[in-house]
Structure 1
Amino acid sequence: MSSINFNAGATSALETLRNINKDLQKTQNSVSTGERVNSASDGVSYWSIATTMKSDNKALGAASDALGVGAAKVDTAYAATESAIDVVNEIKAKLVTASESSADKDQINLEVEKLQEQLTAIGKAASFNGENWQISGSNTSTTAKVVDGFVREDSGTVKITTADFNLSSYAMFSTLASDVGSGGILGAVMTIALTSASTQGAIDGFMTTVETALSSLTDAGAALGALTTRITLQDEFASKISDAIDSGVSRLIDADMEEESAKLSALQTQQQLAVQSLSIANSSGQNILRLFQ
């Protein structure tokens, strides 16, 4: 039976076309964005995991940037330590020269004073972005920290991890008094002063002071070297973790472009057929009209 009030064929064809258009829009969106999960409505679980991991990966990237800043601080402090070792070795050589009975100790002391001034200059210059690890008193804490990671624990809580460097043990100076370094590893070296009356016993005492300072500077250089290794390894690890997170998120939300391409072609064909079917169904009213001609 045919009716002029209700066209069952057209209604069915229209519903089919709506569904095809809906699927086609979704597939086109997947093709254009490259993602099969673009919003929470596409898959709450995967979308939630991907959103959290993208956020964590961004924080991890920021931590990697902070590692670069930390590495620069360590490199600056290490360069200062190496330079200080060279200067202290020069002072040691001057003391050896002063041990010779005919040496002019007053003249040698002038050279020692210039070397001491150089040590102060090295300590003052060892600053990166306003932070100086070679003058512990210039910092608000006796421990310097370098951000080296971002961690999400099993409980869901997050925290920033740091690598520490003990300024109180390894800084060249503790303070600058009247623009002269004092305290710290080199504080005693800065008190060395030769005169024509200096005895061999006094010079031997100065040599002991220099050797102690060299030993401490060597320990400081070793600590900075170890920290550099830690930062380098952490930077490489962070890069690998970031790649792993990107790969995991990709598996969760990225579209299979081969599959989506085939689906798009099929849906476009179905859309054309559905439009044609709707057109045929709509023409049934014209057939009824012919009955009355």
Structure 2
Amino acid sequence: MSSLMTNAAAMTALQTLRSTNNALAETQDRISTGYRVGGAEDNAAYWSIATTMRSDNMALGAVEDALGLGAATIDVMYTSMESTVDTVNQIKAKLTAARQPGVDKGQIQTEIARLQENLLSIAESANFNGENWLAHDGSVTNKSVVSSFIRDTAGAISIQTTDININTTQLFDATGTGTGGILGNAQTNGNTVFALDISALTDSAADITTLEGMIADVDEALVEITDSATVLGSVKKRVDTQSDFVSGLRDAIDRGIGQLVDADMNKESTRLQALQTQQQLGIQALSIANQGSQNILSLFR
């Protein structure tokens, strides 16, 4: 039946064209934003998961920055401790050379004094961002470095830290007088690495015994310093490993979010071409359907 009041063909063509235009707008939005799921209206479940993962990734970014700061601090302390080990080894070598009868112990002491000054300078220079774990007053025992951000299966979050007992790394007291710490405290035989002086010693049996006691005390201090360097080295390795892990984890989360919400541009470009063709055909079909009403006029001529 032909009707002037109701054009069923035009209505069908219009409905099809409207559907095509909606799909085309959706595809164009995906292409312009790069997202298949740009909001909760697109896919509530995926959007919720992606939003939580993005939030966690931002927190991991802060953890990565904190790890970088911690790694830099530890690296300064570790480098200074390595220099300390080398300097104390030189002092030990000088004392061993002084054990040889007939050597000028005053001259050797001059060299040792310079090395002792270097030790204090190294400890006081081991400063990063206001932190110094080698020359401090001992009022703070532990330093914490943020190491990870964790969300458990129940959704609860926690921040993990790595603790370092800086009393084990103290070389001097923070007063700068060369007292306290491994190098400023007396060892078993009553000698301190920073204050020992061999200039007055002779080749007598008693002085040789005193000198050997100094060598033993320096060696004892060297063992403590080496242990401290080992602690710092192990923490440095742990922080570096954790930093690499956090960096890799952030990349994995980014890829996971992309799998959920990113648009496949190859697919969307192909879909765009198809929809544009459908749109043109829909406009043409609507035009043909509208012409059907004009054909009714010919019946009355």
Q: TM-score, normalised by structure 2?
A: 0.85
Measure how far apart 1:5 and its partner are. 4.1
Q: Structure 2: any 5+ residue segments left out of the alignment?
A: 186-192
Match of 2:227 in 1: 219
2: CA distance between counterparts of 1:246 and 1:124?
A: 43
Measure how far apart 1:211 and its partner are. 1.3
Q: Which of 258, 265, 278 is the matching residue for 2:273?
A: 265
Question: Is the 1:37–1:253 Cα contact (8 Å) retained in structure 2?
Answer: yes
Give the superposed CA RMSD: 2.4
Give the direction of change, closer, same or farther, for the CA distance of 1:196–1:181 in structure 2 (3 Å limit). closer
Match of 1:182 in 2: 179
2: CA distance between counterparts of 1:19 and 1:41?
A: 18
2: CA distance between counterparts of 1:213 and 1:3?
A: 107
Match of 1:154 in 2: 153
Letter in 2 for 1:183: G
1: CA distance between counterparts of 2:173 and 2:154?
A: 42
1: CA distance between counterparts of 2:83 and 2:271?
A: 68
1:230 counterpart = 2:215: no
Sequence identity, in percent? 47
> Size of the alignment, in residue pairs?
290
1: CA distance between counterparts of 2:97 and 2:74?
A: 35
The 5 A counterparts of 1:137-148 are 137=137, 141-148=140-147
2: CA distance between counterparts of 1:259 and 1:81?
A: 58
Comparing 122-131 with 88-97, greater Cα deviation is found at 88-97
Match of 1:164 in 2: 163
Measure how far apart 1:116 and its partner are. 1.7
Measure how far apart 1:84 and its partner are. 1.0
Question: Is the 1:123–1:181 Cα contact (8 Å) retained in structure 2?
Answer: no
Q: Which of 239, 252, 264 is the matching residue for 1:256?
A: 264
Q: Deviations over 1:166-200 (max 9, x none)?
A: 1011222232x2x3232112113223234526833
Q: Which of 192, 195, 199 is the matching residue for 1:191?
A: 195
Measure how far apart 1:230 and its partner are. 1.1
2: CA distance between counterparts of 1:274 and 1:181?
A: 90
2: CA distance between counterparts of 1:94 and 1:260?
A: 76
The 5 A counterparts of 1:28-47 are 28-47=28-47
Match of 2:133 in 1: 133
Q: Deviations over 1:123-163 (max 9, x none)?
A: 1111122222212338x732222222222122212222222
Question: Is the 1:173–1:184 Cα contact (8 Å) retained in structure 2?
Answer: yes
SS across alignment from 2:178: strand
Give the direction of change, closer, same or farther, for the CA distance of 1:2–1:137 in structure 2 (3 Å limit). farther
Question: Is the 1:168–1:174 Cα contact (8 Å) retained in structure 2?
Answer: no
Question: Is the 1:87–1:119 Cα contact (8 Å) retained in structure 2?
Answer: yes
Q: Structure 1: any 5+ residue segments left out of the alignment?
A: none
Letter in 2 for 1:95: L
1: CA distance between counterparts of 2:242 and 2:195?
A: 41
Question: Is the 1:104–1:196 Cα contact (8 Å) retained in structure 2?
Answer: no
Letter in 2 for 1:36: R
SS across alignment from 2:76: helix
1: CA distance between counterparts of 2:56 and 2:26?
A: 28
Letter in 1 for 2:48: S
1: CA distance between counterparts of 2:118 and 2:262?
A: 60
Match of 1:50 in 2: 50
Measure how far apart 1:45 and its partner are. 0.6
Q: Deviations over 1:21-71 (max 9, x none)?
A: 111111222233332111111101111111211222232233223322222
Letter in 2 for 1:152: R
Comparing 239-248 with 78-87, greater Cα deviation is found at 239-248
Question: Is the 1:28–1:264 Cα contact (8 Å) retained in structure 2?
Answer: yes
Letter in 1 for 2:114: K
Q: Which of 258, 262, 285 is the matching residue for 2:293?
A: 285
SS across alignment from 2:85: helix
